[in-house]
Copies of this chain bind each other. A is one copy, B any other.
Amino acid sequence: MNQDLRALMAPRSVAVVGATERAGASAGYVMRNLIGMGYAGQIFPVHPRETSVFGYKASPSISALDETPDCVVIGIGAAHVAGVLDEAGRRGTRAAVVLASGFGEVGEAGAALEAELTETARRHGMALCGPNCLGLVSLGNGAALYSSTLDPAIKRGRMALISASGASAIALGHSGRVGVSALVSIGNAPVTGLGDYLRWFAQDPETDVIGLVIEGIRNPASIASAMEAVHAAGKTALALRVGRSAEGQRATAAHTGALAGAAEAQAAFLARIGIVDLPDMDSFIEAGVLCSHGKRPRAGSVAVVGVSGGGVAHVTDIASEVGLHLATLAPDTVDRLRSLLPGFATPQNPLDVTGAAFADPGVYRGALDALDADPGVVMTIAAQDAPPGLSPDIAAEYAGIAGAVAGYGGETPVIAMSNLSAGVHADVAVAYGNATRLQGTRATLTAIARCQEADQHVTWHEAVMGGEPLDAAPGPISEAAARAIFEHIGLSGPIGEVATTADEAAALAERIGGKVAMKIASPDIAHKTEAGSVALGVEGADAAAATFNRIMASAAAYAPGARLDGVLVQEMVTGGVEVLLGLVQHAPFGLGLVVGAGGTLTELMQDAAFDLLPIDAERADAMIGRTRLAKLLAGMRGAPAADRQALVEAIVALSQFGERHGRSIEAVDLNPVAVLPDGQGVRLLDALILRD
């Protein structure tokens, strides 16, 4: 669905159903806002009894209007909404805002009303903001279809806010920090969703940054395709996910689920499509200011310049905590700074230009120029406190530095940052002119670091989730069947077979030779170690026969009634690094893949990388690099390096498997996969498939 939101965001005429001058009525707020914000289009109040509302002639119904309105704002109770919407749709109205609550958010009766509303809007091809929302306002044209008080003096700028939470939209829209082009309270959004709004703002000439306050993601395909338009337009989308801690870990029999919950899946989705994921309101606001003033920061290392050793040391501390990388300066830069700065200053990054910059702002300017010329610096942060409580004469001392930042004309972006979120003295703010000026060390550096990460977006397509059935009998999948499936895609295990009697086990152990591993074969026992039904290093026929009997007894005691197919007797694989590979279904994104330390380390280390499918070799390698597993694979404490390349190939094969069978899989645990020494590949030692 590729909706045209023109009639919603830039209507030529608006009917306001329920319009009244009575205080407290939501449609009354809409009337006041349209008038107060200087809406230039036509306004048609609709009310069964009023004849005139705020001086505008009122009509008793949509049908009774002389003209067809582009958009209708429906400010009446939930039960009556669908009828009015249908009336408007039949006249040819292209868009509606439904303010009332009492729909999908309040149980079954409300859900039925919402379904009716949705069907009506779809039937007429209407865009629909709400229900259960505050409405929206486009500041450029004054279309304030908005039911909370609005100030015409609201700080205007280049950021559109789209919020699942009405109160958050109010808070963020009125921070006084970031200027806004539009506010949208999306409500339940069964018709017009995040993707539709993103697509609108991608082409809106008044918007550079789109800020999303997200409580859940329902239509990832629409959002992903809209983001391609956002990127193509050179714009930036920011997200603040609220309620992410409530997204509990997924309860599942597979370990993979415990390692990657719904919040991780959302984060992986946003990262993949290049939406900047911010952890709190402050960093969201600072990212909005940052990207409103120019392009999104490029990935790379930054330089920090200040006039106080303590100040720049504080910046270094926080940069290291939020993962922002400080550049190592080029030798040329160091030489240039050395000749510029007083002898007692050290030409390094972060750079303390010392109090010399107060006496001569040319020193500060020179430092910015030197850093500009350094090819390893993608952005310079002028870390300068000049707090609001200074006296005007002290504040004046900072004007030279602020002027140097304001007048800087280099290629490398320079931003000014105050360590305090309380910001800078008003006089100093004026001296900064049009320079980008951010507040709060942690909020600012977090905003920059997260924006840089979003520089590496790709995209995501729903199509990757195929539904090809698994090549196995219906019902639960035994370990042996699961291993056969993976053998098919190149993930082989050790040689082995299932013995159904002690004698068979003895014969198998003899045939395989050396030490063997033995474990229960049962479709009903997922965690074999807990069931006491795994034995490693069994040597010789007699021991194998005895172990067979012990394992069968132990499994029967652990899970009475479980189907016991026998005991798998297989070649012992020793050495190598044990890894967990897994797939886990995370609606609405489809399958994600987990890589982490395997075997008994899985739960202990809680150190795994997660990404959504599809995963190619480059992403697979990057996932390994995000875990401490990388260190294990490189060969710790004298161990040989493991076959990382083979692990990358196994991840890619598992991703392709998931893409093919996606919709029929709930989770897959391959744990452990032994990654043998370099050149010797991987061995799948255990496999679990949970069907959807």
Residues of B within 8 A of A244 (CB): 317
For the complex, is A394 an interface residue (Cβ under 8 Å from B)? yes
Any chain B CB within 8 A of the CB of A320? Answer: yes
Any B CB within 8 A of the CB of A604: yes
Chain B residues positioned under 8 Å from A464 (CB to CB): none
> Which residues does chain B contribute within 8 Å of A344, judged by CB atoms?
106
CA distance A606 to B242 in the complex (A): 31
Expressed in whole angstroms, the Cα–Cα distance for A421 and B286 within the complex equals 11
Task: Judge whether A449 is part of the interface by a CB distance below 8 angstroms.
Answer: no
Q: Which residue of B lies closest to A344 (CB)?
A: B106
Indicate whether A51 reaches chain B with its CB closer than 8 angstroms. Answer: no
Pick out which of these stretches binds chain B: A111-119, A168-176, A333-341, A502-510.
Answer: A168-176
- Chain B proximity of A379: nearest CB distance (Å): 19
Beta-carbon nearest neighbor of A531 in chain B: B638
Stretch at the interface among A52-60, A87-95, A382-390, A645-653: A382-390
Interface residues of A in 377-406 (CB under 8 A from B): 385, 387-391, 393-394, 397
Instruction: Decide: A166 near B308, CB < 8 A? Known: A280-B318, A606-B628.
Output: yes
Q: Are A308 and B167 in contact (CB under 8 A)?
A: yes
Report whether B527 and A637 are in contact in the complex, using a CB–CB cutoff of 8 Å.
yes
| Alpha-carbon gap, A150 to B423, bound state (A) | 19
In chain A, positions 241-284 with a C-beta closer than 8 Å to chain B are 241-246, 279-282
Of B151, B389, B419, the residue contacting A390 (CB under 8 A) is B151
| Beta-carbon contacts under 8 Å, A290-347 to B | 307-311, 313-314, 316-321, 344
- List the 3 shortest-distance A-B pairs measured between CB atoms, nearest first: A165-B310, A151-B391, A167-B308
Chain B residues lying within 8 Å of A165, measured Cβ to Cβ, are: 308-311, 313
20 extra A-B contacts, CB within 8 A, seeds A167-B308, A176-B388, A600-B637: A148-B394, A149-B391, A151-B390, A151-B391, A151-B394, A165-B310, A168-B308, A168-B310, A171-B387, A172-B420, A173-B389, A213-B310, A215-B313, A243-B316, A245-B316, A282-B441, A285-B422, A421-B421, A530-B637, A601-B604
- Categorize the interface residue count of chain A: 35 or more
How many angstroms from the CA of A461 to the CA of B166 in the assembled complex?
55
CB of A565 closer than 8 Å to a CB of B: no
In the bound assembly, the distance between CA atoms of A530 and B314 in angstroms comes to 39
Q: Is A442 an interface residue (CB 8 A)?
A: yes
Q: Could you list 19 examples of A-B contacts with CB < 8 Å? A: A106-B344, A153-B391, A154-B389, A155-B389, A165-B308, A167-B307, A167-B310, A167-B311, A168-B311, A172-B420, A175-B388, A177-B420, A242-B313, A242-B317, A245-B316, A281-B441, A282-B441, A421-B443, A604-B632
A393 to B281, CA, bound (A): 24
A387 x B314 contact (CB < 8 A): no
Contacts of A604 in B (CB 8 A): 597, 601, 605, 628, 631-632, 636
Indicate whether A638 sits within 8 Å of B529 (C-beta atoms), given known contacts A167-B311, A171-B387, A397-B149. Answer: yes
Shortest distance between the CB of A606 and any CB in chain B (Å)? 7
Q: Is there contact, CB below 8 Å, between B242 and A310?
A: yes
CA distance A531 to B317 in the complex (A): 37
Q: In this assembly, does A440 line the interface, its C-beta being within 8 Å of a C-beta of chain B?
A: yes
Chain A, 598-639, CB within 8 A of any chain B CB: 600-601, 603-606, 628, 631-632, 636-638
In the bound complex, do residue B171 and residue A419 qualify as a contact, i.e. CB atoms below 8 Å apart? yes
Closest chain B CB from A557 CB (angstroms): 13
Docked pose: A135 CA to B171 CA in angstroms: 41
Q: Is A164 an interface residue (CB 8 A)?
A: yes
Which of B149, B176, B439 has a CB less than 8 Å from the CB of A387?
B176
* Cβ–Cβ contact A441 & B280, under 8 A: yes
Complex Cα gap A396–B39 (Å) = 25
